[in-house]
Chain A
Amino acid sequence: MNERFYVSAPPHIKTKYDARYMMRQVTIALIPPTIAGIVIFGFRAFLILIISILSSILWQRLVLLLKGERRVLDGSEVVTGILLALNLSPLVPWWMPIIGTFVAIVLAKELFGGLGFNIFNPALIARAFLLVSWPMEMTTWMFPYIGINQATPLSGITQATPLTLLKLQHTYTPYINLFLGNRGGCIGETSVLALLIGAGYLFFKGVIDWKIPIPYVITVGVLAIVFRQDPLFHMMAGGLILGAFFMATDYTTTPITKLGRIVFGISCGVITILIRLFGGYPEGVSFSILFMNAMTPLLDRWTIPKPFGYKTLGRNA
């Protein structure tokens, strides 16, 4: 194909920034937390990840087949698969990621029209579905670093997450454990260091901007101070870093205006802290992002920027 005589409808000059490129960047950024999760929780975490990614691709292919669409896989299903696995406890049964990816790909994404039309973040919908359906399995956590050399799943050895410990026993987990990931939790949420490396890569590549994650994390910190809690603990505990940098920055389900994005981040932070401190669940990141996903069209309409020189006419004009 001679590119100089490529005749088609405009645009004629294209950048490399398409959906595949973006999804590849996000996948690369998810490598550090993924490796951290496998190192911390061992072979079982690896297994959950593989099942999740494979079933995700499978559901996507199946849906395209049923729809009769000859569409190239854009890589978003891989990202969804990884994100869902990172949001699961390493002790979930093997069939759970398969149902989870069904919910994510088929219910939350393709039934709404595919990538770009989904209202809610698919991975988070899947997590919410699993959490509501199987609350026991989804909230059984394991101790870090002990599963590596063990052949059998550690059914008897479980540990609460730092937020559960805070809620039930009012004990704080040391910062260093939170930062490096030496704590119970979902596969991908434990190591703040690894998550920040991935997020830094996305910032560097220009895939995400600061307007959602930074206000989100700062709001959580400030509100923690307001409610006389440890702000650094609340900023590092739970899935906040994972949610703020990888889930709340999804292009499709977040506002497009600058002000809208900042409002989105702050509102997510408020809802997260409210659920953590006053709600029934110990962690509120996923529900807060889902709730704000629903608000996204309203935020977009509310924060339409005023064009230069534009003047609102009064009622009598």
Chain B
Amino acid sequence: MKGGAGGRRLVLAIVLVLTLFVVIAPVSVVLVEGLSRGVGAFFGALGEEDTLAAIRLSIVTALVVVPINTLFGIAAAWSIAKFTFPGRKLLLSVIELPFSVSPIVAGIAYLFVYGGQGLLGPFLEEHDIKIMFALPGIILASTFVTAPFVARELIPLMQLQGNDDEEAAATLGARGFQIFRRVTLPNIRWGLVYGIILCNARVLGEFGAVSIVSGTIRGETNTLPLQIELLYHDYNTAGAFAAASVLTLVALLTLAAKVALEAKVGRGQAGR
């Protein structure tokens, strides 16, 4: 297979053309449409009060969800990668479930727990706690959808590195958090950062689950992806594409961060 230069050229040509059409064109169309009316119009569309509020809401959501899921991801990875216990595989499957469950299913499930007619609805109503159609609901739904991201990055990494270093540290008398901070963390650092970056990107972009729990109050409970849909239906195509460009730029930054991390890890490994 390696031999045929013709085959190689053919494969490369097919791959590049398909990538151009399938991956690059959609991203370009967002940026082109977003900027087609000039930079001034672009920032004008973004400066609109409700869009700004949506950007703020998305950032606040990410600021809450990402730390929660980072903490959970570390705890899950530590227990699953470093120990064996009955039901470990099942737990792993449960944690991975949000990857393959449709976000719509997630949103509906949360509605049944926290909605007015849901499991906790009457209790929440009585105590005047708003979860559905408010920030907590958006946070919860986003947490579900992005639950596996950090854990999934860390578990293989921790398994690969084994327990020897940690056990040596424990034998030398180091305590739990010391071991984690001094021994484990330096080893998994870049995987952790990568998991966080992915988790963050997904939180900012979540649409299906949030669209069920949000209540779509303009300037209040519309996250940026929901705001894009709303602008789209408001005949405000330019505004929708401007808002979409922001998320596209975030996606491109995420990729850039990933490439930078990989370069770093690659160098680190080569140096060792």
Chains A and B bind each other: no
